[in-house]
Amino acid sequence: MARFVLSRLLKAVLTIWIAITATFFLLRLLPGDPTTLMVEGDMTPEMQAALLRTYGLDRPLWEQYVSYLRELFQGNFGISFRQIQPVTDILLDRLPWTLLLAGTAFLVTIAVGIPIGVYAAVHRGRWADRVLQALGIGGHALFVPSVAMLLLVYLGARLGWFPIGGAIDPDTRGAAANLSLAHHLVLPVLSLVLVQLGPYALTLRTNMIEVLGEDYIRAARARGLSASRRVWKHGLRNAILPALTLMGLQLGTLVGGAVLTETVFAYPGVGRLIYEAVGQRDYPVLQGAFIMLAVTVVIANSLTDLLYAVLNPRIRL
Amino acid sequence: MEPRSREREVGTVSAPVLTEQTAPVVSAARPVWRDYLRQPSAWLSVTVLGLMVLLAVGAPLIAVEPGGTGPDVLQPPSGRHWFGTDDLGQDIFAQVVWGTRTSLVIGVAASLIALVLGTAIGLLSAYFRPVDAVGTVITDVMLALPTLPLMIMLAAVVNPSVWTLTVIIGVFAWPEVARLIRSQGLVVTAMPYIDGARVLGATAWRIVTREILPAVISLMVVSVLLTASRAVISEAGLSFLGLGDPDAWSWGRILLNAQRSGVVAIAWWQTLFPSLAILVLVLAATVAGMRFNDIRDPRRNGG
């Protein structure tokens, strides 16, 4: 067990290190002087040189890289260009909202996707299965802002069932606040779930059909186990494992979708922050947001892998 | 020796060898296309893709390039403005038609970049063990990272234009191609005819380009279609966040305009039509790719 956890941890650290290093060098290799990114308008060469010295940008690249890594390690993401405030503070302010949104969408997709996938696998070739196959392919073609705007217009603006923006009503307290939180969460989560659900359930169905053809399922049948017990108890456990890995791999896409959904619904997470930072060309915020989201995805991915190891009867930790 | 190894390859891998010039293999490749277009969903999606290309090429003939302001502000769809107008009085139909150009150019060009990079890395990984160790780690890392925030960060620094967006999207789309090509390449590398070529003294370069590459070409066709459909979505996403080419119309930009001018709840036509355009193009490319994949590997047809 310790060995598995350790190797998984190493892989996570390696991924994050590569992400940070690639970011650092890509941004410096791209055309454009950092000072032109920082300040608008004309600057005298002396002012530019002074600015470069202040930020340590006149030192050799590798020295800058080492100090950049040291600062990041201490949780320092730099200072925002526009809001004179540490990027770390801004990000930590926004991150919980994105975690809530993406985490809820992740769990809802799994919770709804599993029964749909199993039902389609058991009723293979019937109409429900055909509908799922169409939706599974169609899901790849859905553009998150399109779905989000559709929900916003019909369920939000026209019918007025759900709020069309924000994350919480600031006037509410206690239980009412929680209720308001959940109420604001519905449409952003639904946009993400609708995009992810079809392809996810379709993969689960394919896994399930494969598992149901295995010898041990036939053996269970020979032992006289009921159909529902065979499917839900023996089959599902083995079909869920690859589906879990798949969902873990989808986390990057899920976070990308969250950036777009948050933009449509003015949801105060990291995604909306990215949209605002793009408008203001606030590079330290964009860089920090990417690294923060990358770290989040890698940690969540490692947790999924650990869960896989715990659930898989073939792996004895 | 050459023709014999080809025969084996066609027999065992069941990959259509499109580069072959001798008569028997060409006739073996032809029914693949015929079978492919016999599927209704396949020819339908190929037709849709063809129409989209015509729309993109003929955009100046179909609609005047949108710009400036017009008298008809926020009009719903009518005979005069098929898809309605936006808050500046510009025709949405013209915007969607001109946006087709950007989406198609970026989709095709970015997926070609991803195809070249992904095929090179995938084939080298499949044939050379030491490359595989590094290649797999890099591919896994790239697949694990949230690509959209990464592309946003880079697109914000460079001056956004159709070409910089193409490069950014293409450079981050190769890992999926590399993974597909590598897994197929590993199967081919393990085949006896590769050992045969090696015994005959063929160089590694010759084996990779002449023996393994032809066996993965059909898979490359599939991945170019699937990658292009993802590239279209990526471009729409970047444009929607304000990182599109300011001089080119794009479906994502139409949605951004609706969002910025706050008319999402009123002007349904401004969000519906570009959304449908994205849906139709991406769906057509995805279905075309998936159907080609079915025909490529006959073993999958039963399942």
Closest Cα in chain B to A248: B144
Cβ(A166)–Cβ(B292) below 8 Å? no
Which residues touch B256 (CB under 8 Å, ≥6 apart)? Answer: B239, B240, B241, B242, B244
Q: What are the percentages of helix, strand and coil residues in chain B, rounded to 5?
A: 75, 0, 25
Q: What is the C-alpha to C-alpha distance for residues B117 and B138, in angstroms, rounded to an integer?
A: 13
Q: Which residues of A touch B143 (CB under 8 A)?
A: 249, 252
Q: What is the C-alpha to C-alpha distance for residues B303 and B125, in angstroms, rounded to an integer?
A: 30
Share of residues in chain A with pLDDT > 70 (%): 92
- Is the pLDDT reported for residue B14 higher than 80? no
Mean pLDDT of B131-158: 87
Q: How confident is the model at residue A41 (pLDDT cuts 50, 70, 90)?
A: low
Query: What confidence score (pLDDT) does residue A216 get?
Result: 77
3-class secondary-structure state, position B85: strand
Q: What is the C-alpha to C-alpha distance for residues A157 and B266, in angstroms, rounded to an integer?
A: 9
- Is the pLDDT reported for residue B12 higher than 80? no
Look-up of token digits 């600057």: A43
Question: Is A149 within 8 Å of chain B by CB?
Answer: yes
* Interval A220-233: pLDDT, tens: 878 877 777 777 77
Q: What token pair was written down for B205?
A: 């370069």
Q: What is the C-alpha to C-alpha distance for residues B146 and B143, in angstroms, rounded to an integer?
A: 8
Which residues touch A63 (CB under 8 Å, ≥6 apart)? Answer: A56
Q: What is the C-alpha to C-alpha distance for residues A293 and B148, in angstroms, rounded to an integer?
A: 10
Residue type present at position B237: G
Q: Which residues of A touch B134 (CB under 8 A)?
A: none
What are the helix and strand counts (H, E) for chain A? 14, 0
Report in angstroms the alpha-carbon separations of B218 from A1, A121, A264, B146, B183: 42, 29, 39, 29, 14
Identity of the highest mean pLDDT range in B28-42, B145-159, B267-281: B267-281
How many residue pairs bridge chain A and chain B with CB atoms within 8 Å of each other? Answer: 149
Q: What token pair was written down for B81?
A: 């403005």
Task: Please name every residue paired with B91 in a beta bridge, in sequence order, or none if there are none.
Answer: B85
Q: What token pair was written down for A157?
A: 């603006």
ipTM of the complex: 0.85
Q: What is the C-alpha to C-alpha distance for residues A196 and A147, in angstroms, rounded to an integer?
A: 12
Task: Please name every residue paired with A86 in a beta bridge, in sequence order, or none if there are none.
Answer: A79
- Is the pLDDT reported for residue B290 higher than 90? no
Q: What are the phi and psi torsion angles at B91 (to 5°)? A: -80, 125
Q: What is the C-alpha to C-alpha distance for residues A147 and B96, in angstroms, rounded to an integer?
A: 18
- Count of CA atoms in the C-beta half-sphere (13 A) of A90: 25
- Is the pLDDT reported for residue B299 higher than 70? no
Report the residue of A17, A27, A146, A275 to disrupt the B interface, i.e. the one with the largest count of B CBs within 10 Å.
A146
Which residues 6-35 in chain A show a CB within 8 A of chain B?
Answer: 14-15, 18-19, 23, 26-27, 30-32
* Interval A73-84: pLDDT, tens: 888 888 887 777
Range scoring the smallest mean pLDDT among A91-105, A218-232, A261-275, B105-119 = A218-232
Residue of B32 and A19 predicted with greater confidence = A19
- Is the pLDDT reported for residue B284 higher than 70? yes
3-class secondary-structure state, position A90: helix
Q: Which residues of A touch B252 (CB under 8 A)?
A: 145
Query: What confidence score (pLDDT) does residue A230 get?
Result: 78
Query: What confidence score (pLDDT) does residue B16 get?
Result: 35
Q: How confident is the model at residue B5 (pLDDT cuts 50, 70, 90)?
A: very low
3-class secondary-structure state, position B284: helix
Q: What is the C-alpha to C-alpha distance for residues A129 and A108, in angstroms, rounded to an integer?
A: 21
- Count of CA atoms in the C-beta half-sphere (13 A) of B108: 9
Q: What is the C-alpha to C-alpha distance for residues B10 and B29, in angstroms, rounded to an integer?
A: 10
* Interval A132-184: pLDDT, tens: 888 888 888 899 999 999 999 889 888 889 888 887 877 878 888 888 888 89
Residue A87's nearest CA partner among A294, A270, A298, A278 is A270
Q: What is the C-alpha to C-alpha distance for residues B27 and B18, in angstroms, rounded to an integer?
A: 10
Angle at B168 between CA B99 and CA A188, to 5 degrees: 65
Question: Is B153 within 8 Å of chain A by CB?
Answer: yes
Report in angstroms the alpha-carbon separations of A73 from A66, A69, A115, B73: 11, 6, 43, 53
Query: What confidence score (pLDDT) does residue A314 get?
Result: 67
Q: Which residues of A touch B146 (CB under 8 A)?
A: 251-253, 255-256, 290, 293-294, 297
- Is the pLDDT reported for residue B22 higher than 50? no
**Which among B146, B157, B259 is the nearest to A297, CB-wise?**
B146
Residue of A38 and B286 predicted with greater confidence = B286
What are the helix and strand counts (H, E) for chain B? 14, 0
Verify whether the Cβ–Cβ distance A278 to B156 is below 8 Å. yes
Q: Is A1 exposed, middle or buried (0-12, 13-18, 19+ CB in 10 A)?
A: exposed
Query: What confidence score (pLDDT) does residue B279 get?
Result: 94
Query: What confidence score (pLDDT) does residue B272 get?
Result: 92
Mean pLDDT of B69-91: 81
Share of residues in chain A with pLDDT > 90 (%): 21
Query: What confidence score (pLDDT) does residue B131 get?
Result: 86
Distance of residue A291 Cα from the nearest chain B Cα, in angstroms: 9
Q: What is the C-alpha to C-alpha distance for residues B302 and B108, in angstroms, rounded to an integer?
A: 31
Query: What confidence score (pLDDT) does residue B21 get?
Result: 35
- Is the pLDDT reported for residue B297 higher than 70? no
3-class secondary-structure state, position A79: strand
Query: What confidence score (pLDDT) does residue B247 get?
Result: 87
Range scoring the smallest mean pLDDT among A81-95, A248-262, B5-19 = B5-19
**Which among B153, B158, B255 is the nearest to A287, CB-wise?**
B153
- Is the pLDDT reported for residue B88 higher than 90? no
Task: Please name every residue paired with B85 in a beta bridge, in sequence order, or none if there are none.
Answer: B91
Verify whether the Cβ–Cβ distance A252 to B264 is below 8 Å. no
Distance of residue A174 Cα from the nearest chain B Cα, in angstroms: 31
Enumerate the H helices of B147-212 as residue ranges. Answer: 147-157, 162-171, 174-189, 192-199, 204-206
Enumerate the H helices of B40-91 as residue ranges. Answer: 40-57, 59-62
3-class secondary-structure state, position A86: strand
Distance of residue A14 Cα from the nearest chain B Cα, in angstroms: 8
Task: Please name every residue paired with A79 in a beta bridge, in sequence order, or none if there are none.
Answer: A86
Cβ(A166)–Cβ(A228) below 8 Å? no
Q: What token pair was written down for B147?
A: 């690509």
Query: What confidence score (pLDDT) does residue A313 get?
Result: 64
* Interval A281-300: pLDDT, tens: 788 888 899 999 999 999 98
Verify whether the Cβ–Cβ distance B157 to A37 is below 8 Å. yes
Distance of residue A182 Cα from the nearest chain B Cα, in angstroms: 22
Which residues touch A304 (CB under 8 Å, ≥6 apart)? Answer: A244, A245, A247, A248, A251
Residue B240's nearest CA partner among B267, B265, B268, B264 is B264
Query: What confidence score (pLDDT) does residue A272 get?
Result: 92
Q: To the nearest whole number, what is the mean pLDDT of chain B?
A: 82
Q: Which residues of A touch B179 (CB under 8 A)?
A: none
Query: What confidence score (pLDDT) does residue B3 get?
Result: 40
Q: What is the C-alpha to C-alpha distance for residues A2 and A261, in angstroms, rounded to an integer?
A: 39
Range scoring the smallest mean pLDDT among B5-14, B39-48, B168-177 = B5-14
Q: What token pair was written down for B240?
A: 């929607």
Q: Which residues of B touch A146 (CB under 8 A)?
A: 255, 271, 274-275, 278-279
Q: How confident is the model at residue B235 (pLDDT cuts 50, 70, 90)?
A: very high
Mean pLDDT of B21-42: 62
